[in-house]
Structure formats: C-alpha cells, structure tokens
Amino acid sequence: MVKLALVLGDQLSTHVAALRHANKEKDVVVMAEVTAEATYVRHHPKKIAFIFAAMRKFAMRLKDDGWTVAYTQLDDRDNAGSIPGELLRQAEIHGADEVIVTQPGEWRLIQALDDCPLTIHTHEDDRFIASHKDFESWAKGRKALRMEYFYRDMRKKTGLMMEDGKPAGGDWNYDHDNRKAPPRDVDFGGPMQFTPDDVVEEVLVLVEDRFGDNFGDLRPFWFATDHGQARQHLAYWVKHGAPQFGDYQDAMMDDEPFMFHALVGAYINAGLLDPLEVCRAVEDAWRAGDVPINAAEGFIRQVIGWREYVRGIYFHEGPDYTSRNVLKHDRDLPPLYWGAKTWMNCLSQAVGQTKREAYAHHIQRLMVTGNFALMAGIDPHQVHEWYLEVYADAYEWVEAPNVIGMSQFADGGIIASKPYISSGNYIDKMSTYCKGCSYTVRDKTGKDACPFNLLYWHFMDRHRDRFSQNPRMGQMYATWDRMDEGKRKTVLAEAGAFLEKMEKGETV
C-alpha cells in the first residue's frame, strides 16, 4: 500500500531519513507551505521566502529524480493550513494511512504529528553527528554539561583536524587568537549573492502579499535557494572570507553586517548544505595552507561543537525549556527591538541589520541584543520569540538553547557557567559602535553615561544572592563593594530611571 513521506522545509536533503525509508516506486512525498508553520511566530519575510523558494526547488529536484511529489503551495485553494491537515488531505487523495517522518526539530511540531490520527513512523534526523542516544550517553552522570568536552568527542568521532589521535597543532581550542578588535578595513565583500530567478520571484510576490507587515525587509533578496547555489556560496567564502574569519569573528563594525562570517547557518539548518561537507571544505583549505589554524578550528567548533551541542541540550531538557525563567525577569521587549529609534548605536546597528538581512553574527546576538535584554530584565520567552522571528537560520532546536541558556541564563546555568553580561567597555573594545554613539562609553554615571555601564551594576546588585558565590563573578562583586556608597546609589538610581523611561516607551 502507498505510504506518504513527509519532507519539511528544514529537511531539504536527498538523504534525509524519510526519503531513505520510502519507496520511490510507489510512495508519495508530501511537501506543503502551510499557514501554521509560517505564522506560529511572525517570521522575517526573508526567512519565509528563503524556505518556500528552497522547498519549491527541492520538490522539482525530487520529481526529476523520479519521485512522486504532492506539493501544496501556500495559496492553493485546498491547502489545509497545517502539516497534519495536509497529511490527512493527501492520505485521502492517495489512499494512504501511513506516513514516514523524519523527526521535526521543534517540540511543537512533534506534538502536532503525535496527535495526527494517521499511523506515523518517525525516524531520527540522522543528518546530525551526535544522535539523541549519543548525547544522552555523553550527558549521563555529568555534573555540568559543558560544550568544550562534548566538542572534543565530536572531533575524535569525525576525525576533523586530528593528527594521530591528537588535536592538530596541539590544542583543542584556538579561541585566544580569535578576539582581535575590528580591523581598519574589511577587504571581503560579504557573502555570494544570487539574483532571484522566476521561482524565487514568484515566492517573493507571494510573501510580499501575505507577510508584508512582518518585521524585516524582503528585498533585496539574495539568498541561495538550492544546493548548487549553496555550494557556490560555501566555496566563495572558504576562498575569500575564511582566511580572516578567525581573527575577527568577534569584531563588530558600523555598516559592516557580515565582516568575514560564513553565513552558512541558514543553508545547513535547511538541508542545502551538509555540516560535515562544510567542515571538510574548511579543513581541506587549512591543510592546503590557505586558511590559518585558528580560523579553521574556530569555524569547525561552531558546527560540530556548538551546533551539535545545543541540539542535544534542546532534546535533553524537554518541551518546557523555552518557558524557563530562573531570574524571574518580566519586562516587555522594548520597541527598539522592532526598529524604534534608540540613542544606543550598538543596538541600532544590530537591530537595523537584522531588519535588512535577517542576520546578525554571534557576538551581535550574544553581547549586544542579548546582553542588553538580560541586564534590562526582559522576559526571556519574549526574547526567545524575537530571535526565532527575526533570523533566517533560527529553528527552535538551535535558537532556544542559545537564547534561553547562553544569552539569557534563564535555564539557571545548564549551558553557561555565568551570565554573559558586560558593561560598555567590551562593546567599545570589540566594535566601532561606541565612536558614533550619543552616549559616552567612558561615563559611568550622568546624563551621557552608557546604559550598559549602568545596567551592568544594576543586574549584579539585584541578583547578588544568586551570583555572589560564583567564582567567575566574585571579583566584580568585590569591585562593586569597594565603590563609594554614594556612587553605588547614583548608579542604581540612574539605571532605575533608564529602565522606567524604557518601560514607558520613551526613546532610550
């Protein structure tokens, strides 16, 4: 009897489990653009367009390869509006009652499929290096689930940058070489950009009509939308961007949204690039002497270390992870995250490029938008949903641990050993933002004082009971205690006044 093989918009790989377990001669591949997936948060228009265009092209590839594909476009009259609804509709059309599924990457959709009355055969998404069983085995009995030790296991398992069982160059981690301040100029023109073809243009028109009011600029649209383009993009970056990626991966510059970053996350997460394929391309360039070891190792760590680790954490911690809020932060996300005017240049730059590109690199996310939200006491679930909405590479399995755990410390320290907070000094050191800011980064108090300086101590003071015994934070509490009492009161009063102004919706 015919079975349905479900392929989701982030499973666009010919070797995905659902296709491997299906019979090309008689089974039907189901792919669908549905309202439920496009609207469970208000996704950036570029993200929606990227996924729909890549889905349409992948469906054509499958048809050319001999598969029978039942593809539903968003504006099809009979569109059921959800993945389970489309499965039920296609099951009736094709006389099927069984569905082959690759496990989705979000608990929300896993539950929706569990509730579907059809017989669902779910296979683990084995495009990842570490299976669920692998991660649980690694995590069992550990007091702390720190990424660094997991990463070393992934290096050994894959053999990437290993020599005779030892890490290439003698060290596992070269992060100490990856923290240079911004260069004078960026001599890399950014990612390879692709002119929309007819398929993409048709999708752009659809997205403009249906999602034109969502936060974010749809055009210009330049993303790769098929496997060939994604591989061209990768090869271009390895040759032109990777050599300086390591040195400046943490640096931020005004009007330089891409620096030397690879921008492969969206392509890997959607299935257009295989993570090991990407890592081996970088490793090959390093072995050829074209990419320095700190750049190659730093990039590979992000893919086989961090990416695999956060996926493991997401499934290890369970469906309630996104609701965690151990610091009890409850302020609403301020309008500046949606493009409202702010006098803080760092936030204006990070949010502005997010609106234009559906992209910001990891330090902009962690130490600018995330850092501010954490110190200002923003509700972490609202922060989580914002990141899920605005970035093209965001799916809950990868986004939630990065935000709930790493960025907002809302999980109580499962991922991070301390909160990732900093005063304006870090941003001044690692960016050009402070030079063009209305605030003065060196002012600790007063009308021109950098809000990051004020909020840093406000956060430390209000969470003293939780963090004063943290060995990585003790020195800062000692610094706070040595301050003149009058200065401490001024800092807290001015921080409170800033937060009150922000809560009222005034420009800050």
Average pLDDT over residues 287-294: 98
Average pLDDT over residues 448-461: 98
Q: Please tell me the predicted confidence (pLDDT) of residue 89.
A: 98
Q: Please tell me the predicted confidence (pLDDT) of residue 135.
A: 98
Inter-residue contact 287 to 300 (CB < 8 Å): no
The mean predicted confidence, pLDDT, of the chain is: 97
Average pLDDT over residues 274-281: 98
Q: How far apart are CA 183 and CA 348, in angstroms?
A: 21
pLDDT grade for 287, boundaries at 50, 70 and 90:
very high
pLDDT grade for 257, boundaries at 50, 70 and 90:
very high
Average pLDDT over residues 442-461: 98
Domains in the chain: ranges and CATH:
4-123 (3.40.50.620), 132-190+241-315 (1.25.40.80), 335-503 (1.10.579.10)
Average pLDDT over residues 446-457: 98
Q: Please tell me the predicted confidence (pLDDT) of residue 198.
A: 98
Q: Please tell me the predicted confidence (pLDDT) of residue 453.
A: 98
Q: Within 212-334, where are the H helices?
A: 227-240, 242-245, 265-270, 275-287, 293-300, 308-317
Q: Please tell me the predicted confidence (pLDDT) of residue 104.
A: 98
pLDDT grade for 458, boundaries at 50, 70 and 90:
very high
Angle between helices 107-114 and 83-94 (to 10 degrees): 40
Q: Please tell me the predicted confidence (pLDDT) of residue 284.
A: 98
pLDDT grade for 436, boundaries at 50, 70 and 90:
very high
pLDDT grade for 467, boundaries at 50, 70 and 90:
very high
Q: Please tell me the predicted confidence (pLDDT) of residue 393.
A: 98
Q: Give the model confidence (pLDDT) of 332-358 as tens digits.
A: 999 999 999 999 999 999 999 999 999
pLDDT grade for 362, boundaries at 50, 70 and 90:
very high
Kindly report the number of other CB atoms within 10 A of residue 195's CB atom. 9
Torsion of CA 97, 101, 103, 108, to 10 degrees: -50
Average pLDDT over residues 57-67: 98
Q: Please tell me the predicted confidence (pLDDT) of residue 207.
A: 98
Q: Please tell me the predicted confidence (pLDDT) of residue 75.
A: 97
Kindly report the number of other CB atoms within 10 A of residue 449's CB atom. 21
pTM score, two decimals? 0.97
Q: Please tell me the predicted confidence (pLDDT) of residue 233.
A: 98
Average pLDDT over residues 67-88: 98
Average pLDDT over residues 88-95: 98
pLDDT grade for 308, boundaries at 50, 70 and 90:
very high
Q: Within 13-131, where are the H helices?
A: 17-20, 35-39, 45-64, 83-94, 107-114
pLDDT grade for 311, boundaries at 50, 70 and 90:
very high
Tell me the β-bridge partners of 104: none
Percent of the chain with pLDDT over 90: 99
Residue with tokens 């891409």: 258
**Residues with Cβ within 8 Å of residue 379, at least 6 apart in sequence:** 325, 329, 330, 331, 332, 333
Percent of the chain with pLDDT over 70: 100
Inter-residue contact 298 to 175 (CB < 8 Å): yes
Average pLDDT over residues 290-317: 98
Q: Please tell me the predicted confidence (pLDDT) of residue 182.
A: 96
Q: Give the model confidence (pLDDT) of 103-154 as tens digits.
A: 999 999 999 999 999 999 999 999 999 999 999 999 999 999 999 999 999 9
Q: Please tell me the predicted confidence (pLDDT) of residue 481.
A: 97
Average pLDDT over residues 283-301: 98
Q: Please tell me the predicted confidence (pLDDT) of residue 360.
A: 98
Q: How far apart are CA 353 and CA 391, in angstroms?
A: 11
Angle between helices 45-64 and 198-211 (to 10 degrees): 140
Average pLDDT over residues 430-459: 97
Kindly report the number of other CB atoms within 10 A of residue 20's CB atom. 14
Kindly report the number of other CB atoms within 10 A of residue 244's CB atom. 19
Q: How far apart are CA 191 and CA 181, in angstroms?
A: 21
